[in-house]
Amino acid sequence: TAPIETLEFQSEARQLLQLMIHSIYSNKDTFLRELVSNASDALDKLRLESYRDKDLEADTSDLHIAIETDPEARTLTVRDNGIGMTRDEVVALIGTIAKSGTADFLTKLKEAKDAAASQDLIGQFGVGFYASFMVADKVTLVTRRAGGAEGVRWESTGEGTYTIQPVEDAPQGTAVTLHLKPEDTEDHLYDYTSAAKIREIVKKYSDFITWPIRMKGEGEEPETVNSMKALWARSSSEVTEDEYHEFYKHVSHDWQDPLETIRLQAEGTFEYQALLFLPSHAPMDLFLRERKRGVQLYVKRVFIMDDCESLVPEYLRFVKGVVDAQDLSLNVSREILQQDRQIQLIRRRLVKKVLSTVKTMMTADAEKYATFWREFGRAVKEGLLDDFENREAILEISSFASTHDADKPTSLRDYVSRMKEGQEHIYFMTGESRSAIENSPHMEAFRAKGYEVLVLTDPIDEMWVDAVPGFDGKQFQSIAKGQVDLESEEDKKATEVAREQRNKDFESLLTWMGTALGDTVKEVRLSSRLTTSPACIVGDTHDLTPTLEKMYRAMGQ
């Protein structure tokens, strides 16, 4: 027999496995969804690879998933005849977690206050294959890469190490066998040796999988359990919300329901369907460098690629889902897609549809919108810099903290509707924190006048306020820069006289201060903006704000 190697799990993987073994996750049924989802992905990959590589020696005649239960042995097997894995792939893909944001997730998990908080985090992260260890005390995986000669057998109890061994006669694809934990006599909900129970779970979580999922009926021939219909091609009246949600979990690898489902169907000469989702929480990697975009591309029901960056702009990278285009070649590459006119048209439509969906949400379901903005607002605001065409639409769906109501961000529309008579600009101040801004002496005159000021504390705010001229014909005006004009015309004339007089009165003081402060300031002048503080430092209209200055300095510029 072939030699058995014992290898160690990567440390993040070990920590995750510990969690699964002591499973604090309440809905254990999800393990099956993960295994079926992986099997389906493996079949998608094989179909695509065999289209592209005519020399691949793979059998694609009857691609399917099979599930078998054995109540005596207490095992459950999920089998596919898809792409399979080589030995090195097994080690890399099953022995480690390659997902970005994992370290961050584990840190947060350690800090989680209670079981509910931990569950929530696990749900957001999505555990994948390791979910098997919620229900099994040993897992065996036998796999052979399509076109490869030798198979591999992987086995583990999830306790730190796994074994790996070559096998001679493994069939193409992957079989995962779970050795189920001893029966829980108190909890019959979790009897995964029951074929009826497994069928029920498959129907519930994996019905839309486009490959046949077969199970043996009453002893005889296997039958297909799922309806296999591509959800995006069905009319929305035929599809239940639950079905959309389960599909979302399959494409996004999220364990939680989406916030919103978006459908789009274009007919005619250039046909495509899109089924998109706004998640209910930001992914762990939203602001990491290696973050991915979440829309999959299909061509005529055939899976082509994950993370299709040509379909959504970077600032909408959190949008998940599927686009199925009818007229593209199955051989399209990422490079070709970037140039493709049809893809560019689809992308424009998707962006507009997402923005208009959020706009509708603002009035139709304010609470949902608030969740959306809390989770994704920082990413969406990047669009103010990148997406010139939709700038106004992005401003329309944006919210900002403001001095109007400390607990509730405001839309610009609402800000404008509250503008005082004679107020010409939309006032804002950027800074590191709300309290820093509110305690700033710049605020005094605005408070006294009853003018509302937007309180902008995200780093991205520093950037877009310089790039975006205004909203609804009103300019954005920083209260910390340049000469801020808070007076009406008549007032101005009267104060002008008074100001000249005061300037004369204080001339020697101003000259003396200017000399004393030397190069540290450009100019010392009397201010109209202070009410209680004696002095404040003001930036020139075109100067960097203190936060930007700090950012540039941190970047070494």
Nearest Cα neighbor of 362 from 409, 406, 430, 311 is 409
Smallest gap from residue 90 Cβ to ligand ADP (A): 8
Nearer of residues 106 and 328 to ligand ADP, judged by Cβ? 106
Smallest gap from residue 250 Cβ to Mg ion (A): 9
The binder of 152, among Mg ion, ligand ADP, none, by C-beta within 5 to 8 A per type, is none
Smallest gap from residue 360 Cβ to ligand ADP (A): 31
Per rule CB under 6 A, is residue 93 in the interface with ligand ADP? yes
Q: Per residue, what are the HEC states of 107-169?
A: HHHHHCCCHHHHHHHHHHHCCHHHHHHHCEEEEEEEEECCCCCCEEEEEECCCCEEEEEEECC
Smallest gap from residue 258 Cβ to ligand ADP (A): 17
Nearer of residues 308 and 351 to ligand ADP, judged by Cβ? 308
Q: How many CB atoms lie within 10 A of CB 497?
A: 9
Smallest gap from residue 253 Cβ to Mg ion (A): 6
Window contacting Mg ion (CB under 5 A); options: 37-45, 158-166, 184-192, 275-283:
37-45
**Cα-based distances in Å from 226 to 212, 243, 299:** 7, 12, 22
Helix (H), strand (E) at residue 75: strand 75-80
Report the half-sphere exposure of 131 (CA within 13 A, side-chain side).
25
Per rule CB under 6 A, is residue 263 in the interface with ligand ADP? no
Report the half-sphere exposure of 500 (CA within 13 A, side-chain side).
5
Per rule CB under 6 A, is residue 42 in the interface with ligand ADP? yes
Distance CA 381, CA 102 (A): 25
Binding to Mg ion (CB under 5 A) within 73-132 occurs at 128
- Angle subtended at Cα 68 by Cα 67 and Cα 73, rounded to the nearest 5 degrees: 145
Q: Residues touching Mg ion: how many (CB under 5 A)?
A: 2
**Cα-based distances in Å from 513 to 500, 520, 524, 525:** 18, 11, 7, 10
Per rule CB under 6 A, is residue 174 in the interface with ligand ADP? yes
Per rule CB under 5 A, is residue 296 in the interface with Mg ion? no
Q: Which residues have CB under 8 Å from 275's CB, separation 6+?
A: 231, 232, 244, 247, 261, 262, 263, 264, 321, 322
Distance CA 174, CA 93 (A): 13
Smallest gap from residue 289 Cβ to Mg ion (A): 23
Per rule CB under 6 A, is residue 128 in the interface with ligand ADP? yes
286: amino acid identity, one letter: L
Window contacting ligand ADP (CB under 6 A); options: 36-44, 69-77, 346-354, 457-465:
36-44
Three-state DSSP at 276 gives strand
β partners of residue 299 = 302, 325
The binder of 471, among Mg ion, ligand ADP, none, by C-beta within 5 to 8 A per type, is none
Q: Which of 17, 33, 48, 82 binds ligand ADP (CB under 6 A)?
A: 82
Q: Which of 30, 38, 40, 478 binds Mg ion (CB under 5 A)?
A: 38
Window contacting ligand ADP (CB under 6 A); options: 79-87, 159-167, 186-194, 502-510:
79-87
Nearest residue relative to ligand ADP (C-beta): 128
Q: Residues touching ligand ADP: how many (CB under 6 A)?
A: 15
The binder of 80, among ligand ADP, Mg ion, none, by C-beta within 5 to 8 A per type, is ligand ADP
Distance CA 324, CA 488 (A): 58
Residues engaged in binding Mg ion (CB under 5 A):
38, 128
Residues engaged in binding ligand ADP (CB under 6 A):
34, 38-39, 42, 80, 82-85, 93-94, 128-129, 174, 253
